[in-house]
Amino acid sequence: MHFDLEKEQRTNAWKSCIDMLEDFYENTEDIPVSGESSREEVVSDLVTGFEKTVELDEALNHVISGLRKHAVHTPHPDYFGLFNPRPNFPSILADAITATFNPQLAAWSHAPFATEVESKLVQEVGVKFGYPRESVDGVFTAGGAEANLTALLSAIHSKYPKFSEDGVHALPRRIRIYCSAESHHTIIKSARICGLGSTCVSHIEADEKQQMIPEALEDQIAKDKSRGFEPLMIVATTGTTGSGAIDPIQKLAHIASEHNCWLHADAAYGGAVVLTKDYKHLVAGIELADSITFDAHKWLSVPMATSLFLTRHKQILWQTFGISADYMPNDETHIQELGSFGHSIQWSRRFIGLKLYLPLLVFGWKGYEETVLGQIELGSTLRQKLLQNNWKIYNETDLPVVCFSDERFAEDPQFAESLAAEIVGEGKAWISTYPIENVLTIRACIANYATTEEGLDKLVGDLNTSRNAYQK
């Protein structure tokens, strides 16, 4: 089969593909943020069977119009959702370049340039988080989920090196993992995947700012120890998914060292503040963490599957994942030194880091600092506008995550649901709801560099209109 197609066909396809994508990218704000497709409608738009084939142009048209029609458009400036950004332009090109070269990052010798790029980025980002340059190690991962799993595996192997041979039988007692009640569910999933089970995860109470209460953690550890359980890992979430809360890392670091626990900082979202002079103090102490999860695809405006696992323990990844195989090129010294298959859950590995390297070449850390700062400021602007319009803010964070409601309807969970559903349903914006204490709040987050103050005015206006209609 002539999979390459002819040069002329390719030239035309590149061009029409670019035209269609450019039309979406340039005019994203003019289309509804989301549609209301039923499952039947979506399925009836698909082509299946694949007996009859079509020209590439028609196929391109089919997939691009399907994606335009049936999706929540996370790149839309009025998407106030779950940390899914609009990808910056160089990072989009990076994905196309990677697909074309398809470098294999399992081994240094197969992809020296790509491997070195990732290795340098791991170091640079690690240093931004405050790790000493000479001790930073890490690996790009497909997501925060994989990075959190990597953290748990590292914690286990660090304390119980025999785990790689004997599995759970290497554990002397039932172990315990601590995270806040507001932490991400991937911690539980990681525990399940590691064969420890979800009951080993202990959710520690959070205070009225949704931050883990260190005293509650200490109490729980004491209780667990007296029952013969073994504390293994403490997870500090620095920027919770629900309300942008930041756990008190310094205090948690102290408790971790007292009980010989691995401290993991889940900074998937909030970690980006380390790129700003003005806000990096929010995560002061993160350099004390044994490992860090950081998602570039959350707040660094790059396409999905761009995350980092970082650690200040140079040997731990190799200790956890190192393995040799006869069919691998024999470049063990490099393998040990660099983020390759001996460093990762993955085997064949995509050149993930290019999605960060290319925009950094073009915009620099400075460009990222400006972007993150701009979004933090828009978050404050949104809070002010809501307060001026008699909304009440229920969370307390400097990050651009705003959870709000109208105090008169605080007891009525229908209120937030109904307003969010109406605004989303009409394709005006994308917002969600989140429970804080006993109030179901409306949640709006800014993670998009294209979001503007006018967009915030429109959102608040739409919210006011829906509130008025709800009252009647």
Ligand X SMILES: *Cc1c(COP(=O)(O)O)cnc(C)c1O
- For helices 354-388 and 453-471, give the axis angle rounded to 10 degrees: 50
CA pair distance 271, 306, nearest whole angstrom: 14
Task: Report 112-171 residues binding ligand X (CB under 6 A).
Answer: 143-145, 148
Q: Considering beta carbons, is residue 122 or 171 the nearer one to ligand X? A: 122
Q: Least distance in Å: CB of 241 to ligand X?
A: 4
Q: Least distance in Å: CB of 216 to ligand X?
A: 20
Name the CA radius of gyration of the chain, rounded: 24
Which x/- pattern over 82-101 shows residues binding ligand X (rule: CB under 6 A)? -x------------------
Q: Binding ligand X by CB under 6 A: which of 131, 140, 163, 269?
A: 269
Q: Least distance in Å: CB of 270 to ligand X?
A: 8
Q: Least distance in Å: CB of 48 to ligand X?
A: 29
Q: Least distance in Å: CB of 400 to ligand X?
A: 14
Q: Considering beta carbons, is residue 352 or 463 the nearer one to ligand X? A: 352
Q: Does 247 bind ligand X (CB under 6 A)?
A: no
Q: Answer whether 118's CB lies under 8 Å from 126's CB.
A: no
Task: Report 201-240 residues binding ligand X (CB under 6 A).
Answer: 237
Q: Least distance in Å: CB of 259 to ligand X?
A: 23
Q: Least distance in Å: CB of 305 to ligand X?
A: 8
Q: Considering beta carbons, is residue 94 or 419 the nearer one to ligand X? A: 94
Stretch that binds ligand X, among 262-270, 359-367, 382-390, 413-421 (CB under 6 A): 262-270
For 57-98, the DSSP string reads HHHHHHHHHHHHHSSB-TTSTTB--SS-PPPPHHHHHHHHHH
Q: Looking at beta carbons, which residue is closest to ligand X?
A: 144
Q: Considering beta carbons, is residue 272 or 328 the nearer one to ligand X? A: 272
For the record, the structure tokens of 429 come out as 């914006």
Q: Least distance in Å: CB of 432 to ligand X?
A: 13
Q: Which residue has the tokens 């010294």?
A: 333
Q: Does 241 bind ligand X (CB under 6 A)?
A: yes
Buried-state track 169-205, b at ≥16 Cβ within 10 A, e below 16: eebeebbbbbbbebbbebbbbbbeebebeeebbbbbe
Q: Considering beta carbons, is residue 107 or 283 the nearer one to ligand X? A: 283
- Amino acid letter, 262: W
Q: Least distance in Å: CB of 187 to ligand X?
A: 8
Q: Which residue in 147, 96, 81, 79 sits closest to 303, CA to CA? A: 96
Task: Report 288-317 residues binding ligand X (CB under 6 A).
Answer: 295, 307
CA pair distance 141, 346, nearest whole angstrom: 8
CA pair distance 203, 183, nearest whole angstrom: 8
Q: Considering beta carbons, is residue 307 or 405 the nearer one to ligand X? A: 307
Q: Least distance in Å: CB of 2 to ligand X?
A: 38
Q: Least distance in Å: CB of 178 to ligand X?
A: 15
Q: Answer whether 180's CB lies under 8 Å from 234's CB.
A: no
The count of residues interacting with ligand X (CB under 6 A) is 14
Which x/- pattern over 64-83 shows residues binding ligand X (rule: CB under 6 A)? -------------------x
Q: Which residue has the tokens 């929540």?
A: 72
Q: Binding ligand X by CB under 6 A: which of 268, 328, 419, 445?
A: 268
Q: Least distance in Å: CB of 67 to ligand X?
A: 20
Q: Which residue in 273, 213, 219, 272 sits closest to 248, CA to CA? A: 213
List of residues 6+ apart from 201 with CB closer than 8 A = 177, 178, 179, 187, 188, 191
Q: Considering beta carbons, is residue 111 or 188 the nearer one to ligand X? A: 188
Q: Binding ligand X by CB under 6 A: which of 186, 301, 340, 397?
A: 186
Q: Does 355 bind ligand X (CB under 6 A)?
A: no
Q: Considering beta carbons, is residue 28 or 190 the nearer one to ligand X? A: 190
Q: Does 266 bind ligand X (CB under 6 A)?
A: yes
For the record, the structure tokens of 345 come out as 């859950």
Q: Answer whether 405's CB lies under 8 Å from 382's CB.
A: no
**323: alpha, beta or left? (left if phi > 0; alpha if psi -120 to 50):** beta
List of residues 6+ apart from 175 with CB closer than 8 A = 156, 196, 200, 229, 230, 231, 232
Q: Considering beta carbons, is residue 274 or 463 the nearer one to ligand X? A: 274
Q: Answer whether 190's CB lies under 8 Å from 149's CB.
A: yes
Which x/- pattern over 29-68 shows residues binding ligand X (rule: CB under 6 A)? ----------------------------------------
Q: Considering beta carbons, is residue 179 or 358 the nearer one to ligand X? A: 179
User: How many CA within 13 A on the CB side of residue 312?
Assistant: 16
For the chain, helix (H) and strand (E) counts, in that order, are 16, 11
Query: 3-state class of 42 per DSSP?
Result: helix
Q: Does 346 bind ligand X (CB under 6 A)?
A: no
Give the interface with ligand X as residue ranges (CB under 6 A). Answer: 83, 143-145, 148, 184, 186, 237, 241, 266, 268-269, 295, 307
